[in-house]
A and B are shown apart, each in its own frame.
Chain A
Amino acid sequence: MTALAPPRLPTILPLGLARGALELRRFFRSRETVVFTFALPTVLLVLLGSVFGDHAEAQGVTSSQVLAAGMIAAGIMSTTFVSLGTDIAGDRDDGTLKRLRGTPMPAAAYFIGKVVLVAVTTVAQIVVMLTVAVAMFDLSLPDTAGDWLTFAWVFALGVVGCSLLGIAISSLARTARSASAVTQLPYLALQFISGVFVNPITALPTGLVVTASFFPVKWMAQGFRSVFLPDSMAAYEPAGTWELDRVALVLGAWCVIGLVLCLTTFRWRRGQDG
């Protein structure tokens, strides 16, 4: 009899994709989560957009169009940072992570699964918000390849950075119940100081703008304004230009910081498990 080589452990990527499929199935089966995940930023966009109305900002651009560009940035933070932060805290609390830890599933597959989940939900979120903005506020979609390219990299860097930060902050929450408070606070605060609700951003006190400049939302919003608004609107930015190089720099830096935070703070166990 020939000795059989021991069967090999499954490779990581297919496992990660299988986890992604499972995560999506779980997500779309819990109707409440689906409705509230997508509804919150969209409803805010509709409400605020209607309040601001078609008050003309300048250059034939309305306040609600400026708002829409910023709200898309906030929408990304909602489906990545807020969702992942609470979702993973929930996985820790309900025994999901503990069960997985008892199997040979590698941590990387778990994270790939979450990335797949977040990528799909965020794209869906953005499609919903763009549809609303185009239909209600006459937002025009970018018409040059360059603008679409900018949209793509701002989106990608924003999603990756905010997702990693969401994974990291999930470890800060002691329980799943506190996780939604822990994630909502930075989410709401950053929206207020990053020129999402208040436009132009220069209308905010300088201290707040400086603070916001250390975080991703301000730069995502600025990047999306460069995509959806005419270039003449750059005059309303703090620097008077879109500063796309700086957008890339700050968002890229947050991807790195987020990854480091994830790797150093992620824990499989609940705090009290010892």
Chain B
Amino acid sequence: MTDAAISVRGLRKRYRGSRRPAVDGVDLDVARGEVVALLGPNGAGKTTTVEILEGHRDRDDGEVAVLGTDPADGGRTWRARIGVVTQSATDLLELTPAEAVRHFARYYPDPRDPDEVLELVGLADAPRAVVKLSGGQRRRLDVALGIVGRPELLFLDEPTTGFDPQARRDFWRLVRALAAEGTTILLTTHYLEEAEVLADRLTVITDGVVVAEGSPATLAGRQSRPALVGWLEDGRPRTEATATPSALVAALGQHFGGEVPGLSVRRPSLEDVYLELLSAAAPEPALATAGGAR
């Protein structure tokens, strides 16, 4: 048995009728027990990549091993070891969340206790039919069905879309608990904060190509970026980027003769670094072009 949960080399996929490939030579490695987040703008190819790994879509080219198996010929035993939360589903409308989770638990050789799962995702007291659930509650049910089989490897495609801030924090706790049990997790998200909190490693794709990879703290040289020092001078905000923030703060302290008004020192956020990365990869954002043409 290898230590890689997912190993992808040169993955390619072009949808019929579209000119550009959706995935254009992606390499990806996820070790057992690791939590990896796939980031990238809308249409970057995240869902396409993940669904090929889940066995939901065919690939044109590339080598793919998921838990040592090619997803294109993964059988029942293999499916019992993975958990899947896809990006969109509108099924199960007539059932209650409890009925759905209990039913899906039957598919697996060693499922979690359905009531426990409902508790974990915060649906324990939602006796109503799925059709009457809110968007965020539906999404929680998707997550519940993804984890009820006690998967070794869990795919989460934008799992927290529509979650309120409290639900998102609860979900983060759940994911960390799963990771602590040893579950390998590959997730996609548009929330950089979420990626930072959950992932050991980040992979950024745009236009079907990996443009950056690294831990949240070091992505694109984040750790060695200059710090940003902000303060108020004559009532106006000032900012200065510096490699030696302590010296600057000391100098400011002398300048103001004590407290520096409105002082802040921060490193560039993951979002700062990420947006820079994307604008470097695609100098002309599509939306700006559309706006200019109007």
Q: Which residues of A contact B (CB under 8 A)?
A: 6-10, 15, 18, 22, 25-26, 29-30, 91, 94-96, 98-99, 101-106, 269, 272-274
CB-CB under 8 A for A96 and B95, given A7-B110, A10-B107, A15-B107: no
Query: Contacting A95 at CB < 8 Å: which of B76, B82, B88?
Result: B88
CB-CB under 8 A for A103 and B149, given A7-B110, A18-B106: yes
- Contact between A94 and B95, CB atoms less than 8 A apart: no
Give the residues in chain A near B54, CB-CB below 8 Å.
102
CB-CB under 8 A for A94 and B91, given A102-B54, A274-B58: yes
B55 at the interface (CB under 8 A from A): yes
- Contact between A95 and B95, CB atoms less than 8 A apart: no
B90 at the interface (CB under 8 A from A): yes
Which of A8, A15, A105 gathers most chain B CB within 10 Å? A105
Chain A nearest Cβ from B289, distance in angstroms: 27
Give the residues in chain A near B15, CB-CB below 8 Å.
272, 274
- Contact between A103 and B89, CB atoms less than 8 A apart: no
CB-CB under 8 A for A25 and B99, given A98-B86, A101-B55, A269-B56: yes
- Contact between B110 and A91, CB atoms less than 8 A apart: no
B16 at the interface (CB under 8 A from A): yes
Q: Which residues of B contact A (CB under 8 A)?
A: 13, 15-16, 54-58, 76-77, 79-80, 82-84, 86, 88-95, 99, 103-104, 106-110, 129, 145-146, 149
Give the residues in chain A near B104, CB-CB below 8 Å.
103
- Grouping DSSP codes into helix (H, G, I), strand (E, B) and loop, the B interface class, with mixed when no group exceeds half, is loop
Query: Contacting B57 at CB < 8 Å: which of A8, A18, A29, A273?
Result: A273
Which of B80, B82, B107, B129 gathers most chain A CB within 10 Å? B107
A7-B109, A103-B80 given; 17 more Cβ-contact pairs under 8 Å: A6-B109, A10-B107, A15-B106, A25-B94, A30-B94, A94-B89, A94-B90, A95-B86, A102-B54, A102-B79, A103-B79, A103-B104, A104-B79, A104-B108, A104-B109, A104-B149, A274-B58
Give the residues in chain B near A99, CB-CB below 8 Å.
84, 86, 89, 91-92, 145
